[in-house]
Structure 1
């Protein structure tokens, strides 16, 4: 595991149905690393057996504490249920320093923000940055019901009617993506974070409208990937280690347990930071980062979600 920080859970608040906000402070009382808008931390739980990334939602200039907002997932793979059901105020956690896969393009003439459900979280810091820059921006926030949506009390207080639009699907609220994109000036960049269905719809609509990929930014806050499978053996050529990866264990976790440090920001096959060269064997690719052609080439793999196709792998690690 890469360098981590020890933090204490200073406060837990219920923001909405199924959503809790956790305020974290350094266990030793020191200041925490600074971060920019759109950043996240990885929380390592249950002795390192669970590691999930969560967007920071706290004030950008407050290094005394971090805040994350976590939705209890119905089909939780362990992270959200652990935080909701097993963590109390005063408990300590290990976190990775802030990383950022969803930064703003400062040169954009206008910023169009589209959030779905708990995908609102990275925009809580983006809004702070955009207001400081006095930038032109709009936030379009889609959610199922008001009772299960976070920040509906604070967003209308900090944003004007022209900056904030809300869409409650239980009451017929629908975002017309084609119309929204059509009315934007040519220098606009769009940012979307939410379920895969929303992300895919925004990306497809923007491309259909002629937007270049450089103007389309997205973060998928949860990637449904089953990392389990048949047990296999992996040889780490540079480290001189041969490891056994259990059927219910991720390749990344087995490597970390052996004391080999690996950079991995998302741990869900999205960011590409743990891409590693394959020396021998074939990978069972389960990531959302490599193209189909790259997967077929079998030159690299993502350690966090992919496995071996067959009984063994050799990696340049």
Structure 2
């Protein structure tokens, strides 16, 4: 069931400090060739070591495949990947990345598209702005950030060809984004996309639901674990070994099986890459990943063991 990625050897060709917490990294292929084509909203997984890898949105132009660009926000309370990127990675270093995958693509339908970004959530929208402009459809970007010094890329957006379509909301200036009002003002058929902190995503989805947007018109992405840590523990029966293990409320199935020496491929550990997809043999899952679509989740055939949990006291997996 596991999804395998093609890894590419790349060289870090440039690093820019965009804000006090955000660095932009530019990669070029080590063999000098072009990167695979991608569409706006695509992400890659940057692998720093066997146990350290993170997913990041591509923010470079899909028309310029000689390089890939990502932005990394330093999170000292995270898994360690962003700290490693900020503190250890230097220009000239070789690292490995995956080919792009897109779980946050623009809809091919609709004449109006509203993009809502919070902080580092701006990155997937940069190439999407190009795509929307090329289509000739109506689009707007609404970008919220804490203070002027944290508005990565806002200066570029103001100076670029999309400036009339872009709006900023700076908390320190007393200008907050009213998601409810923004959503309520949209005409029927508008597609809404949101990327950023969980609170912003939740507020946007809730506002769209209150406005009776169809589910297929609401799009979101968050590269952070959405696994709850305040629920109950449960048991996992490992069909291949016959073992039964207990998963604590504050740990993932992946962490629990690793503790007993079972190794499972998982690049992102955030429910985004699909590499830890495991077959469900009995029981049901509470799905918290971003990889499976709604129909796949409803089928209860597989589970992403890095973030998803048992729906009930026990689940049997093909492990």
TM bucket normalised to smaller: 0.7 to 0.9
1:124 — aligned with what? 126
| Alignment gaps of 5+ in structure 1 | none
- Aligned mates of 1:82, 1:245 — CA distance in 2: 32
Q: Deviations over 1:53-103 (max 9, x none)?
A: 000011111111110000101312111001001111111111111001100
Q: Is the 8 A contact 1:269 1:286 kept in 2?
A: no
Q: Is the 8 A contact 1:101 1:271 kept in 2?
A: no
Q: Which residue of 178, 182, 185 corresponds with 1:183?
A: 185
TM-score by length of 1: 0.81
Q: Is the 8 A contact 1:15 1:21 kept in 2?
A: yes
> Structure 1 residue 180: deviation in Å?
1.6
Q: Is the 8 A contact 1:280 1:314 kept in 2?
A: yes
Cα gap change, 1:178 to 1:246, in 2 (>3 Å)? closer
SS in 1 for 2:154: coil
> Structure 1 residue 303: deviation in Å?
2.1
- Aligned mates of 1:200, 1:260 — CA distance in 2: 31
Q: Is the 8 A contact 1:269 1:287 kept in 2?
A: yes
Cα gap change, 1:10 to 1:280, in 2 (>3 Å)? same
SS in 1 for 2:18: strand
1:14 — aligned with what? 17
> Structure 1 residue 211: deviation in Å?
1.0
> Structure 1 residue 315: deviation in Å?
3.1
> Structure 1 residue 222: deviation in Å?
2.1
Q: Is the 8 A contact 2:110 2:190 kept in 1?
A: yes
TM-score by length of 2: 0.80
- Aligned mates of 1:165, 1:219 — CA distance in 2: 20
| Alignment gaps of 5+ in structure 2 | none
Range 8-17 or range 273-282, more displaced? 273-282
- Aligned mates of 1:38, 1:282 — CA distance in 2: 30
Cα gap change, 1:306 to 1:32, in 2 (>3 Å)? same
In the TM superposition, what are the counterparts of 1:1-317 in structure 2 within 5 Å?
2-45=5-48, 47-159=49-161, 162-223=164-225, 225=227, 235=238, 237=240, 251=254, 267-269=269-271, 274-279=276-281, 287-288=288-289, 300-306=302-308, 315-316=317-318
Q: Is the 8 A contact 2:47 2:96 kept in 1?
A: yes
Q: Is the 8 A contact 2:41 2:105 kept in 1?
A: yes
SS in 2 for 1:23: strand
SS in 2 for 1:16: coil
Cα gap change, 1:109 to 1:246, in 2 (>3 Å)? closer
- Aligned mates of 1:153, 1:217 — CA distance in 2: 26
Cα gap change, 1:49 to 1:273, in 2 (>3 Å)? closer
> Structure 1 residue 275: deviation in Å?
3.9
Q: Deviations over 1:251-299 (max 9, x none)?
A: 2895xx988767x7x531357674422336897x6835699xx99x986
